Amino acid sequence: MNTPTHAARSSLGDVPLYASIGGRMASLGNEEVVFFDPESNRSHVMTAQVIEALELCRPFATMDEHVKNVASRVQGLAGQEAAVRRVLEGLTSRGLLVSDDAFLRRMTSVPAVPVAEHAGLFVRACDRPEQLSALLDSLPDGEAALERLVVMDDSREATSVEQHAARLSSAGGREVFHVTPDRWQAFEQALAAELPEHAELLGQLLRHDPGYRGPVGGGQGRNLITLLSAGRRHLLLDDDNLFPLARHPEASASLQHEALAWAPRTFSAQDEAMSVGEVDPDAASTLLDLCGRTLGELVRDGRLRFGREELVGRMPSVEPLLRGDLRVSMAVNGHRGGSCASGVNWLLLLDPQARAGLLADEARYRQLRGDPAVWFGCSAFAATRLAQFTPFSVDNSLLLPCTSPFGRSEDAVFNALASAMHPGSVQLHVPWSVGHRPQQGRDRSALYAQADTPDVNQSLADLIMRSADEIHAEAPEARAAAIAARIEDLAAGSERNLLAYLGEFLAYRRTTLIAQMQQVLAAAQRAPIPDWFFADLRAQIEANGRAVVERKPPRFAGWPEEASAAQSAARFREQAAVLARGLRAWPAIREAAAARAGDFLGSCRI
- In the chain, the amino acid numbered 548 is V
Residue 208 pLDDT exceeds 90:
no
∠ CA 487-493-497, rounded to 5°? 110
Helix axes 219-228, 565-603, angle to 10 degrees: 40
Tens digits of residue pLDDT in 292-308:
999 999 999 999 999 99
Tens digits of residue pLDDT in 24-40:
999 998 889 999 988 88
What's the mean pLDDT when you consider all of the chain?
92
Cis geometry, peptide bond prior to residue 423 (ω within 30 degrees of 0): no
With CA atoms as reference, report the closest residue to 551 among 514, 511, 512, 516.
511
Helix axes 495-524, 531-550, angle to 10 degrees: 160
Query: What is residue 209's predicted lDDT score, i.e. its pLDDT?
Result: 55
Relative to beta strand 42-47, strand 32-37 is antiparallel
- In the chain, the amino acid numbered 421 is M
Residue 8 pLDDT exceeds 60:
no
Tens digits of residue pLDDT in 555-572:
999 898 888 999 999 999
% of the chain surpassing 70 pLDDT:
96
Dist. CA 525–CA 4, nearest whole Å? 42
With CA atoms as reference, report the closest residue to 475 among 413, 422, 512.
422
Residue 330 pLDDT exceeds 90:
yes
Tens digits of residue pLDDT in 263-286:
999 999 999 999 999 999 999 999
Tens digits of residue pLDDT in 351-371:
999 999 989 889 988 988 998
Query: What is residue 215's predicted lDDT score, i.e. its pLDDT?
Result: 44
> In this predicted model, which residue has the larger pLDDT, 463 or 173?
463
How far is C-alpha 429 from the chain's CA centre? 7
Residue 6's pLDDT band (cuts 50, 70, 90) = very low
Residue 217's pLDDT band (cuts 50, 70, 90) = low
Relative to beta strand 233-238, strand 118-125 is parallel
Residue 247 pLDDT exceeds 90:
yes
Residue 143 pLDDT exceeds 70:
yes
Indicate the helix (H) or strand (E) that contains 373.
strand 373-376
- C-alpha distances in angstroms, 93 versus 26, 49, 98, 308? 22, 18, 9, 21
Average pLDDT, stretch 182-191? 95
Strand order of the β-sheet with 42-47 is 24-29, 32-37, 42-47
Dist. CA 494–CA 487, nearest whole Å? 14
Residue 323's pLDDT band (cuts 50, 70, 90) = very high
Tens digits of residue pLDDT in 396-454:
999 999 999 998 899 999 999 999 999 999 999 999 999 999 877 688 899 999 999 99
Interacting residues of 65 by C-beta distance below 8 A, sequence separation 6+? none
> In this predicted model, which residue has the larger pLDDT, 507 or 8?
507
Average pLDDT, stretch 83-110? 95
Interacting residues of 327 by C-beta distance below 8 A, sequence separation 6+? 113, 292, 293, 294, 295, 395, 422, 424, 425, 426
Average pLDDT, stretch 446-464? 95
Average pLDDT, stretch 461-466? 97
Domains of the chain plus CATH, in order, are 10-108 (3.90.930.60), 120-441+450-493+569-603 (no CATH)
Tens digits of residue pLDDT in 511-530:
999 999 999 998 887 878 89
Residue 126 pLDDT exceeds 80:
yes
Query: What is residue 439's predicted lDDT score, i.e. its pLDDT?
Result: 75
Average pLDDT, stretch 545-550? 94
- Provide the CB-side half-sphere exposure for 209 (13 A, CA): 13
Query: What is residue 213's predicted lDDT score, i.e. its pLDDT?
Result: 43
Query: What is residue 300's predicted lDDT score, i.e. its pLDDT?
Result: 97
In 10 A of CB 275, how many CB atoms?
Answer: 14
Query: What is residue 81's predicted lDDT score, i.e. its pLDDT?
Result: 94
Query: What is residue 11's predicted lDDT score, i.e. its pLDDT?
Result: 53
Query: What is residue 2's predicted lDDT score, i.e. its pLDDT?
Result: 34
Residue 351 DSSP label: -
Backbone φ and ψ of 64, nearest 5°: -60, -40
Residue 537 pLDDT exceeds 80:
yes
Dist. CA 424–CA 261, nearest whole Å? 22
pTM (2 decimals)? 0.93
Average pLDDT, stretch 254-270? 94
